[in-house]
Amino acid sequence: MNDLFEIEKIRVQFNETDALGIVWHGNYLKYFEAAREAFGRKYNMGYNTAKKNGFATPIVKSNVEHKLPLYFDEVFSVRAIYIPESAAKLKFRYEIRNEQNQLVCIGQTTQVFTDLSSGELSLVNPEFYDQWKLRYNV
Amino acid sequence: MNDLFEIEKIRVQFNETDALGIVWHGNYLKYFEAAREAFGRKYNMGYNTAKKNGFATPIVKSNVEHKLPLYFDEVFSVRAIYIPESAAKLKFRYEIRNEQNQLVCIGQTTQVFTDLSSGELSLVNPEFYDQWKLRYNV
Amino acid sequence: MNDLFEIEKIRVQFNETDALGIVWHGNYLKYFEAAREAFGRKYNMGYNTAKKNGFATPIVKSNVEHKLPLYFDEVFSVRAIYIPESAAKLKFRYEIRNEQNQLVCIGQTTQVFTDLSSGELSLVNPEFYDQWKLRYNV
Amino acid sequence: MNDLFEIEKIRVQFNETDALGIVWHGNYLKYFEAAREAFGRKYNMGYNTAKKNGFATPIVKSNVEHKLPLYFDEVFSVRAIYIPESAAKLKFRYEIRNEQNQLVCIGQTTQVFTDLSSGELSLVNPEFYDQWKLRYNV
């Protein structure tokens, strides 16, 4: 089994800071999304892949844990690591590290598959996802 | 001719501030939108009205001028005032005042009508908009 | 012991929706913050109270669980409920309900106390927080 | 006199789209800021330069004009071009182009210099800005 992941480098924008002078905590979910979509482009499993196959992949669960703050203009890396699951879910965990390679933030998200037209939840893996899992042996 | 407007009261959220300790300038377009949609509910001319009639009303132009900063937890009012236009456009101007009734910010937005399915720009007023203008004599 | 909570009514803004036509998942942390600060005003234990006492209260942990989507213009309520803790932490859980009183989203946040000037983490309860806990018997 | 500018390449994030399926108009001010700060790093004239010299550079005016929409995952370029001014102001204009090199959006921002500690507006150019103008002959 392979360990699938992708790393995205991001710079803190001024609009992402708050009156405490640090990145507002809710913005880390944007950073997670950027890395998850970078993963999606690398392995062909992002919002657009799902859409082409008639599915949306809404987030149903997320958690974030902050170890250190990020400041304006800092450059950091976000690693999105795919977590294999037997259920019809897309699960990722995330690691954010600053330029000193210190662990800044970790987190996790869970997505489900819903039919793009009916909105209905898919209880089993959509076929394109099963094929993807086979292809990457996860 | 009537002067059509609506006023929305808003409180500055912590996530809207930036590292200078004031509301980040781009967030004022959110405040304008809140007042414009409050206008839309009052006079039945918002995103949802347009949608029900098969149109989107994307913003094609905006400008904002800042007189004073807003700080976390401040309560302010946003007035959205409809500006009549002969062209197929929705135009509003905005006035934001703080609790001391000082003018904090002014601005303006212009929206056009596009067909919801084709995306095509409407060069003449959609019928529902013409009827609305007649009804309110603007 | 009292059960301390506050409820905030919010309307979904257009800018909070995403291309799936629903509220983008990261925006729920803004809704949690709005309710947490409404709690802060009611019980005098928000960002500004901490600041007046020389402390910041950064979020160190958050989780969100989505049961149902929220759409543009929907009005919903966010309940922020204080969770008593022996450690030097501020803990809240949240419940978001739509107008049909359906449970839309639940979540939790944890804040710590850091010295506003040094940035140092407070390992024990700041005095103002101990007094607050006594006052409300939590 | 030189023409000073910098170009920043950006990819549309999912959280920047709205229920119309396009980038929400207010997010373009974030794109402008990203390019303005890239300019700041290139020419040493951004938020951090001002801060080091005891000044903040709040935006007092902005305008945006939209020609074409941007969709999720599109890659585009933002050019920030410095506009020389005799008054104590920082003025930029912006051009956003999509991958087909079509003009998507233009705009302009004006910043003033305020004293970081007193908050007072600087009516004349701060010395560090005068020296910068000399150095770049603008």
Q: Does B21 touch chain A (CB under 8 A)?
A: yes
Q: Does B120 touch chain A (CB under 8 A)?
A: no
* Chains sharing 3 or more CB pairs under 8 A with chain C: A, B, D
Place of tokens 């979509």: A37
pLDDT computed for residue B1 by the predictor = 55
Place of tokens 């898919």: A122
pLDDT computed for residue B122 by the predictor = 97
Q: How confident is the model at residue A16 (pLDDT cuts 50, 70, 90)?
A: very high
Residue pLDDT tens, chain B, 138 long: 568 999 999 999 999 999 999 999 999 999 999 999 999 999 999 999 999 999 999 999 999 999 999 999 999 999 999 999 989 999 999 999 999 999 999 999 999 999 999 999 999 999 999 999 999 999
pLDDT computed for residue D1 by the predictor = 55
Rg (CA), chain A: 16
pLDDT computed for residue C2 by the predictor = 65
C-alpha of D48 from chain center:
14
Q: How confident is the model at residue C12 (pLDDT cuts 50, 70, 90)?
A: very high
In a 13 Å sphere around the CA of A134, the CA atoms on its Cβ side amount to: 7
**Angstrom distance (rounded) from CA A88 to CA A65:** 25
Q: Tokens at residue B33, please? A: 């939108």
Q: What residues of chain C lie within 8 A of the CB of D17, using their CB?
A: 18-19
Q: How confident is the model at residue A2 (pLDDT cuts 50, 70, 90)?
A: low
Q: What is the mean pLDDT of chain A?
A: 96
pLDDT computed for residue D2 by the predictor = 65
pLDDT computed for residue A98 by the predictor = 98
Would the CB atoms of C47 and B14 count as touching at under 8 Å? Answer: yes
Residue of A nearest to D12 (CA): A34
For the segment A85-94, the average pLDDT, to the nearest whole number, is 95
| SS3 state of residue B32 | helix
Among positive and negative, which fits the CA dihedral D120, D124, D128, D132? positive
Give B78-114 pLDDT, tens digit per residue: 999 999 998 999 999 999 999 999 999 999 999 999 9
Q: What residues of chain B lie within 8 A of the CB of D27, using their CB?
A: 26
**Angstrom distance (rounded) from CA D122 to CA B27:** 25
Query: Tell me, what DSSP letter sits at residue C116?
Result: T
Query: Smallest Cα–Cα separation from D56: which of B20, A74, B70?
Result: B20
* Chains sharing 3 or more CB pairs under 8 A with chain D: A, B, C
**Angstrom distance (rounded) from CA D16 to CA A97:** 24
Question: In this structure, are residues D31 and D104 in contact, taking their beta carbons and an 8 Å threshold?
Answer: no
Share of chain B above pLDDT 70, in %: 99
Q: Does C33 touch chain B (CB under 8 A)?
A: yes
| SS3 state of residue A96 | strand
Mutate to test the interface with C, among B6, B9, B14, B16 (most CBs of C within 10 A): B14
For the segment C73-94, the average pLDDT, to the nearest whole number, is 97
CA distances from B54 to B44, B67, B115, B129, C17 (A): 15, 38, 6, 12, 19
Give A20-34 pLDDT, tens digit per residue: 999 999 999 999 999
Phi, psi of B91 (to 5 degrees): -125, 135
**Angstrom distance (rounded) from CA A114 to CA B77:** 40
Element (H, E) at C135: helix C127-136
Query: Tell me, what DSSP letter sits at residue A11?
Result: E
Q: What is the mean pLDDT of chain C?
A: 96
Residue pLDDT tens, chain D, 138 long: 568 999 999 999 999 999 999 999 999 999 999 999 999 999 999 999 999 999 999 999 999 999 999 999 999 999 999 999 989 999 999 999 999 999 999 999 999 999 999 999 999 999 999 999 999 999
Place of tokens 């109270």: C49
Place of tokens 């913005």: A27
pLDDT computed for residue C104 by the predictor = 98
pLDDT computed for residue B8 by the predictor = 98
- A74-93 burial, b at 16+ Cβ within 10 Å, e below that, comes to bebbbbbbbeeeeebbbebb
Q: How many other CB atoms are found less than 10 A from the CB of residue C77?
A: 17
pLDDT computed for residue B79 by the predictor = 98
Among candidate residues B18, B73, B115, B130, the one labeled active-site is B18
Per-residue DSSP letters for D33-93? HHHHHHHHHHHT-SHHHHHHTTEE--EEEEEEEESS--BTT-EEEEEEEEE--SSSEEEEE
Shortest CA gap D85–chain A (Å): 24
In a 13 Å sphere around the CA of B96, the CA atoms on its Cβ side amount to: 30
**Angstrom distance (rounded) from CA D110 to CA D94:** 12
At position C36, the amino acid (one-letter code) is R
pTM exceeds 0.90, yes or no: yes
Query: Tell me, what DSSP letter sits at residue B21?
Result: S
For residue C1, is pLDDT > 90? no
pLDDT computed for residue C24 by the predictor = 98
For residue A1, is pLDDT > 60? no
**Angstrom distance (rounded) from CA B49 to CA B41:** 9
For the segment C62-90, the average pLDDT, to the nearest whole number, is 97
User: Which ipTM was obtained for this model?
Assistant: 0.96
The closest CB to that of D26, out of C15, C19, C71, belongs to C15
- B41-53 burial, b at 16+ Cβ within 10 Å, e below that, comes to eebebbbebbeee
Mutate to test the interface with B, among D29, D106, D109, D115 (most CBs of B within 10 A): D29
Give C16-54 pLDDT, tens digit per residue: 999 999 999 999 999 999 999 999 999 999 999 999 999
C-alpha of C39 from chain center:
8
D115 catalytically annotated: no
